[in-house]
Amino acid sequence: MKTQVAIVGAGPAGLLLSHLLHLEGVASVVLESRSREEIEATIRAGVLEQGTVDLLEQSGVGERMKREGFVHEGIYLRFAGRSHRIALTELTGRAITVYAQHEVIKDLVAARLAAGGTLLFGVKDAALYDLDSTAPKTRFHWNGKVHEIESDFVAGCDGFHGISRPSIPSRHRHEFTRSYPFGWFGILVEAPPSTDELIYAHHERGFALVSTRSPQIQRLYFQCDPQDEVKNWPDARIWEELHTRLATGEGWTLGEGRIFQKGIIAMRSFVVEPMRYGRLFLAGDAAHIVPPTGAKGLNLAVNDVRVLAEAFGSFYKTKNQALLESYSSTALKRVWRAEHFSWWMTSMLHRFHDDTPFQHRIQLAELDYIVSSRAKAITLAENYVG
């Protein structure tokens, strides 16, 4: 097989890149190790920045998101038993949209297939060769046979555990990592929303987050031990923990419902520099990870491929490589802004195992400052909306 851009991974990064390249008149093939059913059912992110929403709309894949997504103009910070609204739109002129990542995936898969795009699901043992030549190769097993794609470029969009990043010789990779001594326990619940906007809660027992998916389904998280196991958390224990961490003296109560999904998520910050080696370009989680406290991961993946699609488009139109040369440094600017914001939100809202009462008070002082200073609230808001 031959194509212009071979794309490894059909997450938001790989699928959106393929879609944007198609609009630029550039051919691509997307290789995905999982099945279409699996990628369309994996529960992950929920918050889209205004810029992400605008790009999806402008590129023609935003119709269902516009209809079914929920525009939120604020979030709540809850600490010391009280809620404080951060008026995102009033402070920044922008809003966020709550629309699940797997719905974005469904919309992108449908758009690619309708346009006759090539998406290969169930690909095994993908491996990259000749990345430092002008004809890189991607070899893989598919439908019981070995296949090879020769392309002009390879886009590594295969997430944190993919094969693209490790295909870069280690002497060309500078990696920056921080892992956190906690994870998130996430649940999906059949219940009406308990709140009109997301609640980020600081509590001495640890962080909790109330998010939503639809008028019938709610998404809740609470900080947990990353080594903990789902089997240790029967429903009653989950509700008790959430009620405790979200308690207020303001007459608010958390609505319960049937829990139909539970999972534990590790928390990590990670960046590789540069996001390119020869003809391989990394995008999304393959190049960087943020803890989910800032809701930035999916939005960063979208920004990477926006920049990358424009660079490929410019290369094929003009044979000029300038935008490809600057891709990594352009993308990394936003990556590091989001790394800082996500680290900051995580540090301010979670309980650390070595926390002293002093650190707890320092966190409260910072939260108090955010809700009493317009300047500080704007700092949070403009980072949050992107």
> Do residues 86 and 380 touch, judged by C-beta distance below 8 A?
yes
Q: Rule CB under 6 A: is residue 194 a binding residue for ligand PHB?
A: no
Selected range binding ligand FAD among 18-26, 40-48, 58-66, 317-325, rule: CB under 6 A: 40-48
The reply to whether 46 sits near ligand FAD by the rule CB under 6 A is yes
137 is catalytic: no
Quick check: is 292 catalytic?
yes
Return phi, psi of residue 227, to 5°: -90, -5
Question: By C-beta, is 24 or 366 nearer to ligand PHB?
Answer: 366
* CA–CA dist 302, 107 (Å, integer): 14
Residue nearest ligand PHB, CB atom distance? 46
Kindly identify the residues of this chain, within the stretch 249-268, that bind ligand FAD according to CB under 6 A. 265
> Is the four-CA dihedral 285, 289, 291, 297 of positive or negative sign?
negative
The site partner of 342 among ligand PHB, ligand FAD, none (C-beta below 5 to 8 Å per kind) is: none
Q: How many residues does the chain have?
A: 386
Question: Does 53 contact ligand FAD by CB under 6 A?
Answer: no
Assess 119 for contact with ligand FAD (CB under 6 A). Answer: no
Residue of 200, 221, 277, 327 with catalytic role = 200
User: Given the DSSP bridges, would you call strands 137-142 and 124-129 parallel, antiparallel or unpaired?
Assistant: antiparallel
Residue from 197, 241, 285, 339 touching ligand FAD (CB under 6 A): that is 285
Whether 72 is a known active-site residue: answer yes
Distances (CA, A) of 350 to 219, 223, 252: 18, 7, 22
Spatial separation of the C-alpha atoms in residues 234 and 187, rounded to whole Å: 12
Using CB under 6 A as the binding rule, whether residue 47 contacts ligand FAD is answered as yes
Residues 31, 45, 109, 302: which binds ligand PHB (CB under 6 A)?
45
Residue 248 exposed, middle or buried by CB count within 10 Å (0-12, 13-18, 19+): middle
Beta carbon nearer to ligand FAD, 34 or 178:
34
Which of 211, 330, 346, 363: binder of ligand PHB (CB under 6 A)?
211
Which residues within the stretch 120-159 sit at the binding site for ligand FAD (CB under 6 A)? 123, 126, 157-159
User: First vs last Cα of the chain: how many Å apart?
Assistant: 39
Which span (6-14, 198-206, 327-335, 359-367) binds ligand FAD, by CB under 6 A?
A: 6-14
User: CA-to-CA distance for 288 and 165, rounded, in angstroms?
Assistant: 10
Residues 103-141, buried b or exposed e (16+ Cβ, 10 A)? Answer: bbbbbbbebbeeeebbbbbebeebebeebeeeebbbebe
Pick one of ligand FAD, ligand PHB, none as the site partner of residue 219 (Cβ within 5 to 8 A by kind): ligand PHB
Q: Cα–Cα distance between 228 and 242 in angstroms, integer?
A: 16
Site for ligand PHB contains 342 (CB under 6 A): no
Q: Which does 123 bind (CB under 5 to 8 A by kind): ligand PHB, ligand FAD, none?
A: ligand FAD
Closer to ligand FAD by CB, 109 or 249: give it: 109
Determine which one of 19, 22, 72, 202 is catalytic.
Answer: 72
Q: Build a one-symbol-per-residue string for 214-253: x at contacts with ligand PHB by CB under 6 A, - elsewhere.
A: -----x----------------------------------
The kind and range of the H/E element at 255 are none
For 255-269, letters b (16+ CB in 10 Å) and e give: ebbebeeeebeebeb
**Residue 13 in the binding site for ligand FAD (CB under 6 A):** yes
Pick the catalytic residue: 180, 296, 327, 350? Answer: 296
Q: Which is nearer to ligand FAD, 119 or 126 (CB)?
A: 126
Alpha-carbon span 303 to 291, nearest angstrom: 17
Please give the residues from 159 up to 178 whose contact with ligand FAD meets the rule CB under 6 A: 159, 162-163
- Which amino acids are annotated catalytic? 72, 200, 292, 296, 384
